């Protein structure tokens, strides 16, 4: 009996010993798993684990000397680096206060002399200074993603296109880009200077992002806009297999482009319209105003509203700096109060629709920065906003069936997209 008890106790001990051995094996395996080498840290295309890494920030009134000198770079090499960075392909003449930069030194180098200095110019582009053998400066870009996005919105009282777009894009640069794209597509069809409550829009566009952070609009592919109850569609379409002839066309296959742009500046506002009788703000008397004033910040580009030849690029006391363009035997346009002329603009030069011919200013008889846009038809000044220009020409019949097939699913997506309501923020509220 005692022998049986001892044998049972022996088996029980073996069982626990065995279990303990298994636990030890499992624990050992877990230790091995936990010791797996983590992935190397990579930034700006460099494996940071291979360097001594220091981070610094540009301080007030710093130059490149302040950036580089503390990390063992000679003044000679600093001067060479600054000269190469100022090249037009890199475009870095000055360093900006508050910009973080990275210094990479060789492992084990007690002097911590910089081998590379990385200076970001924006969210995408950065400049690499290579100080190893000789000074080498290169502009690089982070890889970005392009994703298709959709958005919609509405215009309400006391709002505008920019405000409606900004509620969703939440980035002023992207908002301005989108507004320019949309106003550009419909520049010949919709008066963006007079949007009304109840106007609505839908857009399918490409969004550029870096590391999941959106930073730019990569173009738009289709737009729908309801303006004063009238619906406008625009679809981007290539007329050739190589994709070289790309334009926007409406739901009937008519090109959106028209003979004249509605305005010579992008997305501004009308400060004074065409009138037979207006009180002149400078001369302080009633007189005709045979043009349309578009208020915009000083330096805003002014574009020719149609193809034509410059017949005057001059100055007088009333008009200030002005340009006049003859488009054909019927139409001419004039642009007044410029701060200056665009490069190459002079009498006899041919200009294309949308080409910059000057910049908004307040020269001559003007109370503030704007461009006075004047329009002649058969030698008589008219209100261009009341002129009915010819419709665009439909695409050739052979392309129309494939175009209609192409836009059908896109239009279905546009039509199914709900309108995002405009949210009026209460005074004093913050996100």
More confident residue, 237 or 255: 237
> What is the arithmetic mean of pLDDT over 211-223?
92
Residue 228 predicted with pLDDT over 70: yes
Tokens for 290?
């045979």
Instruction: Please report which helix (H) or strand (E) contains residue 24, including its range.
Output: helix 2-34
DSSP assignment of 102-120? EEEEETT-TT--EEEEEEE
Highest mean pLDDT among 70-84, 253-267, 359-373: 70-84
Between 319 and 242, the higher pLDDT residue? 319
Comparing CA positions, the residue from 259, 260, 269, 280 lying closest to residue 371 is: 269
Same domain as 320, residue 229? no
Looking at the fold, whether 134 and 47 belong to one and the same domain comes out as: yes
- Per the CB < 8 A criterion, the answer to whether 67 and 56 are in contact is yes
**Same domain assignment for residues 161 and 201:** yes
Q: Which of 36-50, 170-184, 218-232, 342-356 has the lowest mean pLDDT?
A: 36-50
Residue 299 has what DSSP assignment? T
pTM of the model: 0.61
**Same structural domain, 185 and 105:** no
Q: Is residue 418 part of a domain?
A: no
Identify whether the C-beta of residue 165 lies closer than 8 Å to the C-beta of residue 220: no
pLDDT classification of 244: cutoffs 50, 70, 90:
low
Q: What is the pLDDT of residue 86?
A: 92
Residues 131 and 155 in one domain: no
Structural domain includes residue 18: no
What pLDDT is recorded for position 342?
96
Range of the domain at 283: 269-386
Residue 259: band (very low, low, confident or very high) from pLDDT cuts 50, 70, 90: confident
Question: At 250, phi and psi to the nearest 5?
Answer: -85, -175
pLDDT band at 298 (very low <50, low <70, confident <90, very high): very high
CA dist list (Å): 39 to 42, 53, 148 = 9, 17, 31
Whether residue 57 is predicted with pLDDT greater than 80 in this model: the reply is yes
Does 53 share its domain with 137? yes
Residues 346, 294 share a domain = yes
291 & 366 share domain: yes
The per-residue pLDDT for range 120-140, each reduced to its tens digit, is: 999 899 999 999 989 999 999
Buried b (16+ CB within 10 A) or exposed e, 4-20: eeeeeeeeeeeeeeeee
Mean pLDDT of the chain: 84
220 and 180 inside one domain: yes
For the ranges 23-37, 177-191, 304-318, 391-405, the maximum mean pLDDT occurs at: 304-318
Q: Are residues 178 and 210 in the same domain?
A: yes
Domain boundary among 215, 249, 283: 249
H/E segment holding residue 325: strand 320-326
Q: Provide mean pLDDT across the span 251-260.
A: 84
Output the pLDDT for position 156: 92
Domain boundary residue among 216, 249, 282? 249
Task: Supply the CATH number for residue 91's domain.
Answer: 3.10.450.350
> What mean pLDDT is predicted for residues 181-188?
82
Give me the percent of the chain exceeding a pLDDT of 70. Answer: 82
- pLDDT of res. 378: 86
**Rounded average pLDDT over 300-320:** 92
The two tokens of residue 81 are 């680096």
pLDDT grade for 95, boundaries at 50, 70 and 90: very high
Domain count, the chain: 3
Answer whether residue 163 is part of any domain.
yes
415 in a domain, yes or no? no
Task: Give residue for tokens 């309400």.
Answer: 156
* Sheet hosting strand 145-154, strand order edge to edge: 145-154, 200-210, 213-227, 230-238, 246-249
DSSP, res 59: P
Task: Give the bridge partners for 200, in sequence order.
Answer: 154, 226
Give the mean model confidence (pLDDT) for residues 35-50. Answer: 79
| 158 and 212 fall within a common domain | yes
pLDDT of residue 15: 47
Proportion of the chain above pLDDT 90, given as a percent = 53
In this prediction, residue 99 has a pLDDT band, given cuts at 50, 70 and 90, of very high
CA distance 205 to 323: 36
Q: Where are the alpha helices (DSSP H) in 114-272?
A: 161-169, 172-185
Residue 342 falls within a domain, yes or no? yes
CATH assignment of the domain containing 280 = 2.70.70.10
What pLDDT was estimated at residue 211?
83
CA 196/CA 152 separation, integer angstroms? 16
Q: Of 86, 107, 141, which residue sits at a domain end?
A: 141
Cβ atoms of residues 223 and 241 within 8 Å:
no
> Both tokens of residue 406?
């192409």
Q: How far apart are CA 46 and CA 115, in angstroms?
A: 12
| Between 109 and 246, the higher pLDDT residue | 109
- Tell me the average pLDDT across 234-242: 84
Could you tell me if residue 66 is inside a domain? yes
Q: Enter the tokens of residue 159.
A: 């709002």
232-255 mean pLDDT: 85
Q: Is the domain of 293 the same as that of 342?
A: yes
Separation between Cα atoms, residue 200 and residue 231, nearest integer Å: 9
Residues 286, 280: contact at Cβ < 8 Å? yes
Segment 320-337 mean pLDDT: 92
Q: Tell how far CA 368 is from the center of its chain.
A: 28
């Amino acid at each position: 009996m005692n022998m049986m008890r001892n044998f049972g106790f022996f088996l029980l001990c073996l069982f626990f010993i065995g279990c303990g051995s298994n636990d030890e094996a499992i624990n050992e395996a877990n230790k091995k798993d936990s010791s797996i080498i983590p992935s190397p840290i990579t930034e700006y295309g460099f494996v940071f684990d291979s360097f001594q890494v220091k981070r610094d920030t540009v301080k007030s009134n710093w130059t490149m000397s302040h950036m580089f000198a503390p990390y063992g770079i000679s003044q000679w090499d600093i001067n060479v680096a600054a000269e190469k960075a100022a090249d037009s392909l890199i475009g870095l003449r000055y360093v900006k206060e508050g910009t973080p930069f990275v210094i990479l030194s060789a492992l084990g180098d007690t002097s911590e002399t910089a081998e590379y200095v990385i200076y970001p110019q924006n969210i995408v582009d950065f400049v690499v200074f290579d100080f190893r053998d000789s000074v080498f400066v290169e502009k690089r870009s982070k890889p970005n993603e392009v994703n298709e996005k959709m958005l919609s919105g509405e215009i309400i009282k006391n709002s505008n296109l920019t405000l409606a777009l900004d509620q969703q894009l939440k980035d002023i640069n992207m908002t301005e880009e989108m507004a320019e794209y949309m106003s550009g597509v419909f520049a010949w069809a919709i008066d963006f200077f007079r949007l009304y409550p109840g106007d609505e829009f839908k857009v399918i566009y490409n969004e550029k992002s870096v590391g999941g952070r959106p930073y730019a609009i990569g173009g738009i592919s289709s737009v729908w806009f309801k303006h004063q109850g009238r619906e406008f569609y625009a679809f981007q379409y290539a007329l050739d297999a190589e994709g070289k002839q790309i334009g926007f066309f409406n739901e009937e296959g008519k090109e959106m482009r028209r003979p004249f742009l509605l305005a010579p500046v992008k997305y501004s506002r009308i400060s004074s319209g065409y009138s037979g009788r207006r009180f002149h703000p400078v001369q302080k008397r009633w007189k005709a105003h045979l043009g349309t004033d578009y208020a915009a910040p000083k330096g805003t580009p002014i574009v020719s509203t149609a193809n034509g030849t410059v017949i005057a690029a001059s100055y007088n006391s009333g008009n200030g700096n002005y340009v006049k363009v003859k488009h054909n035997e019927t139409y001419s346009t004039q642009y007044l109060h410029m701060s200056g002329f665009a490069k190459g603009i002079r009498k006899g030069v041919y200009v294309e629709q949308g080409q910059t011919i000057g910049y908004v200013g307040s020269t001559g008889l003007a109370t503030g920065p704007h461009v006075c846009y004047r329009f002649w038809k058969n030698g008589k000044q008219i209100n261009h906003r009341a002129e009915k220009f010819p419709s665009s020409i439909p695409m050739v019949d052979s392309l129309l069936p494939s175009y209609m097939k192409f836009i059908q699913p896109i239009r279905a997506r546009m039509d199914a997209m709900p309108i995002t309501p405009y949210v009026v923020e209460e005074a004093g509220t913050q996100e």
